Structure 1
Amino acid sequence: MKTRGTGRKKRREGLGNRLAIIGITVVVLSLAVVVNVKNTSMEKKLVEYQAKEESLTRQVENEQKRATELEERRVYVQTKQYIEEVAKQKLGLVKPDEILLKPRPKDN
């Protein structure tokens, strides 16, 4: 009679072990799925951030070029040549030794 009781007990323990292994397997597979999903979403974010970084890098380069051009313009504006150019174009001034030629109006 003792043999009967121990057999049932072993079956119950074996069944419990199987359920524990199945439960652990389900948990591990669930974790694997979650990690895979998160990895995929992070890869998408990485691609987005890389594109944004490239765009910002181009913007920085453009602004640096613009800053260089503005610096060159600032230096040019302070020259005598620029002052003379503005005086001629906007104010209509001429140097004393320059001869100003005006076209004759057409008479019809």
Structure 2
Amino acid sequence: MGILLIVMAVFCVTAIGSLQLKQKNQTYQNREAALEKQIADETERSKEIEDLETYTKTKKYVEDVAKEKLGLVYEDEILFKASGK
């Protein structure tokens, strides 16, 4: 009878430990998935920043800024402005 109680106690402790480990494993898997998504998002963001950096080094960027922010145009360009009506 005493051996049966010891076996039952060991079984219960093992079962409880197993359940706790499964819960921890699920938590870690969820955390891993969240981190992988964050890595993917940051990789995409990094690519966008690299693209912007490349664009800012082009003549097209300089022209766009000159036109939009400074209102500059080429000598041979014709501007059409909308009337305030």
Normalising by structure 1, what TM-score? 0.72
Gaps of at least 5 residues in structure 1 are 1-21
Please give the root-mean-square deviation of Cα atoms over the aligned residues, in Å. 1.4
Matches of residues 61-80 of structure 1 in structure 2 within 5 Å? 61-80=40-59
Runs of 4+ residues deviating >4 angstroms: none
**Counterpart in 2 of 1:16?**
none
Distance 1:24 1:33 in 2: 14
Gaps of at least 5 residues in structure 2 are none
Distance 2:83 2:8 in 1: 95
Following superposition, the deviation at residue 62 of structure 1 comes to 1.1
Normalising by structure 2, what TM-score? 0.89
Query: Residue 99 of structure 1 aligns to a residue in which SS?
Result: coil
The answer to whether 1:29 aligns with 2:8 is: yes
Identity of aligned residues (%): 39
Distance 1:74 1:90 in 2: 19
Q: Which has the larger radius of gyration?
A: 1
The answer to whether 1:50 aligns with 2:29 is: yes
**Counterpart in 2 of 1:41?**
20
Query: Residue 4 of structure 2 aligns to a residue in which SS?
Result: helix
The aligned length equals 85
Distance 2:77 2:71 in 1: 12
